[in-house]
Each structure stands twice: as structure tokens, then as C-alpha cells.
Amino acid sequence: MNKKVEMNEWNPEQYLQFKSERTQPAIDLVSRINIAQPQSIIDIGCGPGNSTQILVNRWPNSEVVGLDNSTTMIEKARQDYPEQKWIVGNAENIDPDSKYDLIFSNATLQWIPHHEILLPKLFDCINPGGAIAVQIPKFRNMPISVAIETVANSPNWINYTKGCEELFTFGDMDFYYGILNKLATGVELWETSYFHILNSQESVIDFIRTTGLKPYLDRLPSDEMRYGFEQEVLTECKKYYKVQSNGKVLFPFDRLFFIGYK
């Protein structure tokens, strides 16, 4: 059912506009990993390298590799952290002969289909005593997703955006536990809601422009149409994300975490 994501290149500067909010889940995930000293770590979907630094800071003597299929993201990571190892590539094509003590992925697997195939393949690349640690946004359950789909399915846009929702892959806790309990000697799963305090309702659009909104914008043929689509999504968002008494907007963001030990 899920399809391979086909999108234009990522914009690291726009992505890092909310660096703190995007990095906190990685901090929380790394803090829960119960491995004393992994020798080899790969960060799948490392983006511009912000989450990778959490791994480097916790295990400074480990070999940490960042992998991402976006050339622009890897270029930014190489520019900001030139002493580290960065690879352009896809998680689905990971070398089965490569072995790691920790496979880490923060907000990436939702872009990759068929987790029931992907996760066992990644688990095969873990050394005994190692782990896989993953965070996935629960984007489909959030009001922002409802707002986007409402606009995308309207007559003005559906011819361009039809099928975009199939570019995301999200499972629930039962789904991931059902995969991991057949592979792992121990499993941890949890969910967290992060209440991001944004400056305005427009900031909600800024937050998701380079993530959940991106596949829809990439389908549109002009900047004018992309702007129009964003404005309609903003109108829908105003139904769900109210302006607080101090002018700020609370943007709850739900995330799912799991760790599987080998």
C-alpha cells in the first residue's frame, strides 16, 4: 500500500529553524538506551547532523556514522561537523554485512515503507548485545494532519495531491511490538506529547513545511500554488491551534518510541 517517497531536496536551514524542538526527542531516546559503550553506531536519517551529536556526546569514543538519502542534508552535516563520517544512502539498502552495536533513527522511518520488512533487516545488522532505537512522529493522529488532508482532498487540490498520504508509514504500538517481540531479547515502548510553544499560528506551517507538508508542496508546479495551499492549510489549522493570552500558540506533537535489544 505504501509507496516510495519522491520529493524535491530538503532545506537544512528551514529544518533547523526549530532545531531545539526537533532535537529533544533524540535526547530523550538516547537517554533511555541501556548500552554501556557501543563501539559502532549508525544514525539512520541523520539529516543535518543535529541528532547525531547527541550520540557523539554520550559515547565520544564510539565510531558514529550518519546516513541520509538527502544530499543537501549530508552536505550541511559535513559543513557543520567535518570531523565526523557522513554517508548519502537509503536505509533500505543498508549493507547486510555491516554490523553495529546501535542502530538509531529519529523521525525518519515514517518516510520508508514496509516496516515489517525493514525492521528485521536492520535488526540483522546489530551485533549481539546491541540495540535498535527509534522515534516516529504520530503525525497521522494529529490535528495538523487532519488540516492538511482536508485541504488536499478539496476540489482545488486533489488532482495534484491525490495519494500523498500513502507516502507516510505509521504503525501503532501493537504493530511495532508484534515485530520486535519476535526479534529482540528485550523491548521498551513509550509515547510522549511535546507541547511546542510557537510564536504564532503561522509558525505551525513553518514547523511542518519541511516535514509533513513537504510531499504535498512538492506536487505543486509553482510557488504561487504552494503559497495558496499553505494558506488554506493555515485556515484549517486555526480551528485547532488557538492563540493564547500572550499571543503564543501551543502545538502538541505526539511521538512514538521503541528500543529493541539483541
Cα distance between residue 77 and residue 79, in whole Å: 5
3-state secondary structure of 39: coil
Task: Indicate the helix (H) or strand (E) that contains 73.
Answer: helix 71-80
Q: Is residue 192 part of a domain?
A: yes
Q: Is residue 71 part of a domain?
A: yes
pTM for the full predicted model: 0.91
Query: Domain range for residue 257?
Result: 19-261
Q: Answer for the pair 241, 251: CB distance below 8 angstroms, yes or no.
A: yes
Q: Answer for the pair 133, 108: CB distance below 8 angstroms, yes or no.
A: no
Query: So what's the pLDDT on residue 158?
Result: 97
In CATH, what number is assigned to the domain containing residue 182? 3.40.50.150
- pLDDT below 70 — which residues of the chain? 1-19
The amino acid sitting at 33 is I
| CA distances for 126 relative to 7, 221, 245, 262, angstroms | 30, 42, 50, 7
C-alpha closest to that of 64 among 35, 43, 80: 43
Query: So what's the pLDDT on residue 18?
Result: 63
Task: Indicate the helix (H) or strand (E) that contains 20.
Answer: helix 19-32
Q: Is residue 6 part of a domain?
A: no
| CA distances for 48 relative to 70, 75, 208, 260, angstroms | 9, 8, 16, 25
Q: Is residue 13 part of a domain?
A: no
Backbone angles phi, psi at 42, to 5 degrees: -125, 135
Helix axes 50-58, 19-32, angle to 10 degrees: 30
Place of cell 504552494: 226
Cα distance between residue 51 and residue 61, in whole Å: 17
Whole-number percent of the chain with pLDDT over 70? 93
Q: Is residue 209 part of a domain?
A: yes
Query: So what's the pLDDT on residue 11?
Result: 59
Task: Please state the domain count of the chain.
Answer: 1
Query: So what's the pLDDT on residue 210?
Result: 86
Q: Is residue 3 part of a domain?
A: no
Q: Is residue 1 part of a domain?
A: no
CA angle 92, 210, 67 (to 5 degrees): 30
